[in-house]
A and B are shown apart, each in its own frame.
Chain A
Amino acid sequence: MIAAFAAWLAATSVSRAVTHYSWIWPTCETLHFIGLALLLGNVGVLDLRLLGALRRLPVAPLNRLVRWGVFGFAINLVTGLVFFVGAPAQYITNLAFAFKLLFMLLAAVNLAVFYLSGLARTVNALGPGDQAPAAARLIAGTSLFLWVGVMFWGRMLPFIGNAF
């Protein structure tokens, strides 16, 4: 059924356009790397602060930077969908792709715990020099680990599976 879906997707005009115009793939790849940097860097500043580096930073204003990390994620969601639509067959049976999705799912769960547990509000009250509670440090470390993991599995797509 998944194979049939991939075949159907590959036959759509959108999918054909992605592989037909030779500039689309490299352009999206470049944007995907820029999005990756925006995500890792701007979310990373908050994570590093919560982990105890950059301790003098007040936490609340960092949320403005996190928005740019979310923007980076949005870039990567769109460009990632372009890759998937363009060549679905090379992703659906790719073990690295499955792990990449799993790590993204775990990152979303981690984020949900951070906001729904009220920890996000707690850490927003942290001023210069204040230490984040252990639970927030754990979530920040998990966030870094998972996003670096997403990147790792993405990089492994051509080597563990067959994607280009």
Chain B
Amino acid sequence: MAFLAWLSESPLGEWVSGSTWVYPGLLFVHTLGLGILVGLNSALGLRLLGVAPQVPVADLEPLFPYMWAGFWLNAVSGSVLFVADAPKKAANPSFIVKLVLIAVAVVVMRALRREAFAGSAGVTARARTLAAASLLLWAGAITAGRLMAYTTALK
């Protein structure tokens, strides 16, 4: 707990919470990263689930670098946002749920890439399951992230 307080009082933490534009700017970047990652992932997921069957799945693989760019945009902006408010966020149950959902979603995303782009056998049942799981996980992560503003710290 002392570490979390130290984080929020660090120069980085003070910079974020003390300035007028850094915090809103970070929120914008975080929303942009969300839109890129979850949005492109939804396009890929929908295709694997049977929407737009004429789109060749193999040609969607170049989406992954963009999705990872969105992910890292949010990993960085999210980390800085966390530092600024570490003690409160760490104690927020929605935040914990959000992190768990993101961790599982990342594992699923990697497995999905291996499964859907391995060969030319068409879309396997496993790829469809992973696609559905990734849509639900990212929607869940968005939900948990949004609810952080409404759930208060434990204890």
Residues of A within 8 A of B (CB): 26, 29-30, 33-34, 36-42, 44-45, 48, 53-54, 56-58, 60-65, 68, 128, 148, 151-152, 155-156, 158-159
Query: What per-residue 1/0 map shows which CB atoms of B82-125 lie under 8 Å from chain A?
Result: 00000000000000000000000000000000000000000000
What 3 A-B pairs are tightest by C-beta distance, nearest first? A41-B39, A64-B52, A61-B54
Chain A residues near B66 (CB-CB < 8 A): 48, 53
Chain B residues near A30 (CB-CB < 8 A): 142-143, 146-147
Interface size class of B (residues with CB under 8 A): 35 or more
Q: Give the secondary structure class of B's interface.
A: helix
Bound Cα distance from A157 to B56, whole angstroms: 40
CB of B74 within 8 Å of the partner chain: no
Bound Cα distance from A36 to B34, whole angstroms: 9
Chain B residues near A128 (CB-CB < 8 A): 56, 59
Chain A residues near B28 (CB-CB < 8 A): 151-152, 155-156
Query: Are A64 and B60 interface neighbours, CB within 8 A?
Result: no
Query: What per-residue 1/0 map shows which CB atoms of B119-151 lie under 8 Å from chain A?
Result: 000000000000000000011001101110110
Query: Are A155 and B27 interface neighbours, CB within 8 A?
Result: yes
Query: Are B47 and A65 interface neighbours, CB within 8 A?
Result: yes
Question: Who on chain B is nearest to A54 by CB?
Answer: B62
Query: Are B142 and A33 interface neighbours, CB within 8 A?
Result: yes
Bound Cα distance from A53 to B36, whole angstroms: 14
Question: Who on chain B is nearest to A152 by CB?
Answer: B28
Chain B nearest Cβ from A107, distance in angstroms: 14
Query: Are A34 and B142 interface neighbours, CB within 8 A?
Result: yes
15 contacts between A and B (CB under 8 A): A26-B150, A33-B34, A33-B145, A36-B31, A37-B35, A38-B39, A42-B43, A44-B43, A56-B59, A57-B60, A58-B55, A62-B55, A151-B28, A151-B32, A151-B35
Query: Are B32 and A148 interface neighbours, CB within 8 A?
Result: yes
Query: Are A37 and B55 interface neighbours, CB within 8 A?
Result: no
Bound Cα distance from A34 to B34, whole angstroms: 9
Query: Are B56 and A65 interface neighbours, CB within 8 A?
Result: no
Chain A nearest Cβ from B61, distance in angstroms: 9
Bound Cα distance from A128 to B53, whole angstroms: 16
